[in-house]
Structure 1
């Protein structure tokens, strides 16, 4: 059946497909991926194995054939795997939704007019991405286009995003090529084929090595970026995961009308007396950002606005070399307890529910 619900509930599913990061509701153990993408009529092959609890993004001709099926179908006019404008949900009462797919190198020079997917498509573009990351790390200056709330950067795990149970892989997203090859997105090398795939087989290919012998985060960009170059560059920058989380945080803050956002640990601190960089390479910790009026805490799609004074307390927690827990005495303990109550943790986190914002 065609997707006819609230389009704002479809958008996170598309974002998962593009980025590989699932900010949706926690997935029960053993559940199928919430998003499957078909670029040809292989949907029945997928749903026979995965079940019907998937959202299928399919070309118009395929979607029409599935209009009466129990699977939720989002029709796609265009090709998500190409640099082009695509339209989703053409038959939706509030549709269609327009999405622009463009490469990284052109993005600084192109106006962001709506939902935009930015892809790294070559070694040289990967170098540009690293240059932007280095600039943010050294001076706190983030690329303007990259922090636009309308932008999604594709294949985040390959770019250094922190790994976790709902971060990329065949349990999170799938794509089928016109030839029947199965990959984790329209842009990546295959893990198997629809003719003989199993969920366990895809898991093994992702975790232990696919057809090219690559594993996990190395897979999504392997066809466009030299795998050894990617591995060395990410290893040389252990803070890349936190950088990508900072980009996500700035987008979320900007979406609520706040500009001139700075990020703690990236060329700026709320508390000028903080000398520690203990948080620099900790992609598992919340991101603390601030403007001239407010401080913000972001983690796994959740955003919380706090006072700048509270931000100073949290900054000292983030940069402490000793663990600080919600049962600590005084204002710090109370603040951490309040953060925990809205799903923001300062220890080992779990994937939060869909992009939930409190007080922003």
Structure 2
């Protein structure tokens, strides 16, 4: 069962995280699509014959007998329930349980285990935007969205900086044999089509949009509505990074949500930066997130998924570098210490400055 949680998160979110890479041992040099969910067991053989389920695939197949050694083919895990319809429980294999939920009612969730939260219609999408706006303007993040057990689905279509890797990463096959990257996604083909056919349609649909991942929510949110909302919020990728940052802090038991403040979300650690234009930092894909509580400060790097703890004086300098974009712009007679902070993060592979 090792890796099941990682691969389900990958399939649901569209993000290939560092934990997945570590578990898989490779990036894109895998055979078939990495994670595939079928609604009907009868489609398995045709998907395998078409090369969509390959030796490296983890396939989730309803009612199937588990085959987990992967020595001569894909790892197959049977499941009971639904990974596409919100509001129910899913059992994968014999030991792993998961909930699925629509975004609009997730505020009222009673979490009992791992949970996937899915945007299922335009109302859900509007609620997601309202939560993002409130967080950005007031620093008030939705509790469920930062819970360690929760993952928001299809984030590549919701403004995340992570590029969607399309059919090579994940596939969903509905009961009628239609194939997409997600349950709410545009149809890319049908059972029997090969990977090249699906990728060509995926590329065609994305080329028609000026915002990332026009596929994963195409059946549930009008593309013009989605694209307009993302363009109006160039900071959405930073919002997703902030959710991941707080989730990491909560997972590690470093702080509770009510204790955490996030730079750029209605406040700054350094009062002198209030009113400063941090738009370049917030719009930069993978930009680090600075947080603090009453007794500690932290920097989360979305690229490496690492969190760094530091004292407040150093954190204020890091914040100046992030918001103002360079040592020269941030210098206030303290250039030597700014350079030390910048050098520390550079050695850790983290870029604080925009330039």
TM-score tier after normalising by the smaller chain length: 0.7 to 0.9
Cα gap change, 1:39/1:294 in structure 2, threshold over 3 Å: closer, same or farther?
A: same
Give, in whole Å, the separation in 1 of the partners of 2:69 and 2:79.
13
Using the TM superposition, give the Cα deviation of residue 66 of structure 1 relative to its aligned residue in structure 2, in angstroms.
11
TM-score (normalised: structure 2): 0.83
Tell me what 1:20 maps to: 14
Tell me what 2:110 maps to: 111
Q: Judge conservation of contact 2:209–2:227 (CA < 8 Å) in 1.
A: no
Q: Judge conservation of contact 1:270–1:315 (CA < 8 Å) in 2.
A: yes
Give 1 or 2: higher helix fraction.
Answer: 2
Q: Is 1:218 equivalent to 2:224 in the alignment?
A: no
Give, in whole Å, the separation in 1 of the partners of 2:80 and 2:146.
27
Cα gap change, 1:321/1:286 in structure 2, threshold over 3 Å: closer, same or farther?
A: closer
Give, in whole Å, the separation in 1 of the partners of 2:208 and 2:272.
48
Tell me what 1:55 maps to: 58
Cα gap change, 1:59/1:334 in structure 2, threshold over 3 Å: closer, same or farther?
A: farther
Equivalent positions of 1:145-164 (< 5 A) are: 145-164=144-163
2:283 paired residue among 269, 281, 284: 281
Pairs aligned (count): 330
Tell me what 1:181 maps to: 178
> Relative contact order: is structure 1 or structure 2 higher (C-alpha 8 Å, sep ≥ 6)?
1
Using the TM superposition, give the Cα deviation of residue 237 of structure 1 relative to its aligned residue in structure 2, in angstroms.
0.9
Dislocated runs of 4+, deviation >6 Å: 64-68, 212-215
Using the TM superposition, give the Cα deviation of residue 340 of structure 1 relative to its aligned residue in structure 2, in angstroms.
4.0
Q: Judge conservation of contact 2:102–2:119 (CA < 8 Å) in 1.
A: yes
Q: Judge conservation of contact 2:205–2:214 (CA < 8 Å) in 1.
A: no
Tell me what 1:190 maps to: 187
Using the TM superposition, give the Cα deviation of residue 159 of structure 1 relative to its aligned residue in structure 2, in angstroms.
1.1
Q: Judge conservation of contact 1:40–1:62 (CA < 8 Å) in 2.
A: no
Cα gap change, 1:89/1:339 in structure 2, threshold over 3 Å: closer, same or farther?
A: farther
Give, in whole Å, the separation in 2 of the partners of 1:339 and 1:321.
14
Tell me what 2:341 maps to: 335
Cα gap change, 1:346/1:75 in structure 2, threshold over 3 Å: closer, same or farther?
A: farther
Equivalent positions of 1:287-326 (< 5 A) are: 287-298=289-300, 299-300=302-303, 301-322=305-326
Using the TM superposition, give the Cα deviation of residue 131 of structure 1 relative to its aligned residue in structure 2, in angstroms.
0.8
Any stretches of 5+ residues in structure 2 without a counterpart? 329-334
Give, in whole Å, the separation in 2 of the partners of 1:31 and 1:67.
13
Using the TM superposition, give the Cα deviation of residue 30 of structure 1 relative to its aligned residue in structure 2, in angstroms.
4.8
Using the TM superposition, give the Cα deviation of residue 37 of structure 1 relative to its aligned residue in structure 2, in angstroms.
2.1
Give, in whole Å, the separation in 2 of the partners of 1:39 and 1:242.
34
Give, in whole Å, the separation in 2 of the partners of 1:19 and 1:128.
18
Q: Judge conservation of contact 2:318–2:352 (CA < 8 Å) in 1.
A: no
Using the TM superposition, give the Cα deviation of residue 343 of structure 1 relative to its aligned residue in structure 2, in angstroms.
4.3
Cα gap change, 1:60/1:305 in structure 2, threshold over 3 Å: closer, same or farther?
A: farther
SS of residue paired to 1:280: helix
Using the TM superposition, give the Cα deviation of residue 264 of structure 1 relative to its aligned residue in structure 2, in angstroms.
0.7
User: 80-89 vs 175-184, which deviates more?
Assistant: 175-184
Using the TM superposition, give the Cα deviation of residue 341 of structure 1 relative to its aligned residue in structure 2, in angstroms.
4.3
1:230 paired residue among 218, 226, 229: 226
Tell me what 2:332 maps to: none
RMSD of aligned Cα (Å) = 2.8
Cα gap change, 1:304/1:54 in structure 2, threshold over 3 Å: closer, same or farther?
A: farther
User: 260-269 vs 18-27, which deviates more?
Assistant: 18-27
Cα gap change, 1:65/1:72 in structure 2, threshold over 3 Å: closer, same or farther?
A: closer
